[in-house]
Amino acid sequence: MSQEHLLHQAIQRHIKTVGTPDIVIANAGVSTGTLSGEREDLVTFKRVMDINLYGVMHTFLPFMQAFKKRKSGQLVGIASVAGIRGLPGSGAYSTSKAALMNYLESLRIEMLPFNIQVTTIAPGYIKTPMTHSNPYAMPFILEVDKAVSLFMKAIDRKEKFIIIPWQMNIVGKLMRLLPAFVWDFLAKRGPKKLRAMI
């Protein structure tokens, strides 16, 4: 039986025994350095997409059916500032979070008739095992407690899309506006995640 099928069954069992929750947060994700032009990194690329994009879809789907029936609920996806522009050395992660943000945006609009809210949270850096071994400076990095409290506020306010913290919101907005040649100039000098297979 596939992992997706097992997850679907576990969620359905949960709904049957505990009831339909008000909020579902799809937080699981992985990050590793990859080189987008290297054939041997394709397996890692697919695995990152599988967890960071399809993992969220498979998590939401069974809850969505219950939310639609009830005509209420909130789905929360954890994206990343890394999804705003293509990051050299982190192509897989960056692509997965960009795809996730677009998926969540499509979903948000599709869910409007069912009174289901979709919240996208795009954090900057947070002190977790994911960033523990990053060999570069991480501006505006948040302690986990602070990040959680900002996440909770955003979820409570039913934000549609939010970049956390506010300093990263400014960075993220600027990143979006930069023309390709400026982005290339800055990004090629930027920090690179350590390349590793997962």
Binding residues vs ligand NAP (CB under 6 A): 27-31, 51, 78, 80, 123, 125-126, 128-131
| Of residues 31, 4, 20, the one with CA closest to residue 96 | 31
CB of 30 to ligand NAP, least distance (A): 5
Q: What are phi and psi of 158, to 5 degrees?
A: 50, 45
In terms of Cβ atoms closer than 10 Å to its own Cβ (0-12, 13-18, 19+), residue 52 is buried
Distance CA 111, CA 133 (A): 38
Of residues 117 and 120, the one with the C-beta less far from ligand NAP: 120
CB of 31 to ligand NAP, least distance (A): 6
Q: Which residue has the tokens 């795009």?
A: 122
CB of 133 to ligand NAP, least distance (A): 11
Of residues 116 and 121, the one with the C-beta less far from ligand NAP: 121
Q: Nearest 10 degrees: CA dihedral of 155, 94, 11, 62?
A: 80
* Residue 167 burial (CB count, 10 A): 12
Residue 92 CA from chain centroid, whole number: 12
Of residues 66 and 130, the one with the C-beta less far from ligand NAP: 130
Of the residues 93, 103, 125, 136, only one is catalytic, namely 93
Q: Which DSSP letter does residue 54 get? A: I
CB of 122 to ligand NAP, least distance (A): 7
Of residues 70 and 171, the one with the C-beta less far from ligand NAP: 171
Whether 93 is a known active-site residue: answer yes
Show which residues are catalytic. Answer: 93
